[in-house]
Structure 1
Amino acid sequence: MSPPLSYQGIHLIADLHGGHGLDDAELVARCLADAAVAAGATLIETRLHHFGPGMGVTGVALLAESHISIHSWPEHGYAAVDIFMCGVANDPDAALALIADTLGARIENRVALRRGYGALEPGLIDR
């Protein structure tokens, strides 16, 4: 029997700068789905909204393990990414790396948090 988890999941929050395709809803949808696969997560559904020509995209990949979301501002070469995955079998950093690579962006301001009720070591993991 394995010991109990000291937390329920990891929550990554990151800013992406530079890159391309931040106004391409099809690329962002494919990126979210591929990120779920890269993390070893179970994709349930992706939902996106495109704000119009030259404008950004907001989207979420609903996962059995929680979610991956993105909101982009192509006019600023910026995207906000939020990845939360429950359990220890998944790799949210792999999802983040795939998103950055697919969009040709650099990861800045990455923060990782342990999440969960009764966490033995709650809070910030690293920056």
Structure 2
Amino acid sequence: MTGAFRPAGVHLLADLHQVDAALLSDPARIDVLLREAALAAGARILHGHFHNFGAGMGVTGVLLLAESHISIHTWPEHGFAAVDIFMCGAAQPERALGIIDAALQPLARNVKTVERGQL
């Protein structure tokens, strides 16, 4: 193989800490947020599904993208959200994370970046 390494996609794993609980328990609000994030990244949304575990409880959800996916799982009682953004092609997952970060305003975060595959 010749040429420089090029990953098939970039996978961001973000742990968002100390988030206002009110921002983590509304599945409709989280659905809109992830859709805005996907579009800002240049991704094409195929389908989304979000589930709430009860009043004041967490949300789990996923957007299926032509470029892969964005998923989230929240724990309002702990002010924590786990966000998973995997995108390939020209999509820019860092832009999606920036939108999510700006909306949820975590006081602390840990992000791991994984380059997936090799083209």
- Do the structures match in fold with TM over 0.5? yes
Q: Pick one of 20, 32, 35 that aligns with 1:33.
A: 35
Write the distance in 2 (CA, Å) between the matches of 1:58 and 1:100: 17
Structure 1 residue 6, shift from structure 2 partner: 1.9
Letter of the 1:110 counterpart: V
Letter of the 2:69 counterpart: H
Write the distance in 1 (CA, Å) between the matches of 2:79 and 2:102: 14
Structure 2 equivalent of residue 9 of structure 1: 9
Gaps of 5+ in 2: none
Structure 1 residue 103, shift from structure 2 partner: 1.8
Answer with 100-109 or 74-83: which moved more. Answer: 100-109
Structure 1 equivalent of residue 55 of structure 2: 53
Structure 1 residue 54, shift from structure 2 partner: 0.9
Residue pair 2:18, 2:108 contacting (<8 A) in 1 also: no
List per-residue Cα deviations over 1:61-108 (Å, max 9, x = no partner).
110000000000000000000000012x11101101111111222451
Letter of the 1:108 counterpart: R
Residue pair 2:36, 2:99 contacting (<8 A) in 1 also: yes
Letter of the 2:109 counterpart: E
Write the distance in 1 (CA, Å) between the matches of 2:105 and 2:62: 19
Q: How many residues align?
A: 115
TM-score, normalisation: structure 2: 0.89
Q: CA RMSD in A?
A: 1.7
Write the distance in 2 (CA, Å) between the matches of 1:26 and 1:107: 24
List per-residue Cα deviations over 1:37-62 (Å, max 9, x = no partner).
11000011110010001100000011
CA gap 1:73/1:50 in 2 versus in 1, 3 angstroms = same
Alignment of 1:1-127 (within 5 A): 6-20=6-20, 21-87=23-89, 89-106=90-107, 108-116=109-117, 119=118
Structure 1 residue 18, shift from structure 2 partner: 2.3
Letter of the 1:11 counterpart: H
Higher RCO, 1 vs 2 (CA within 8 Å, ≥6 residues apart): 2
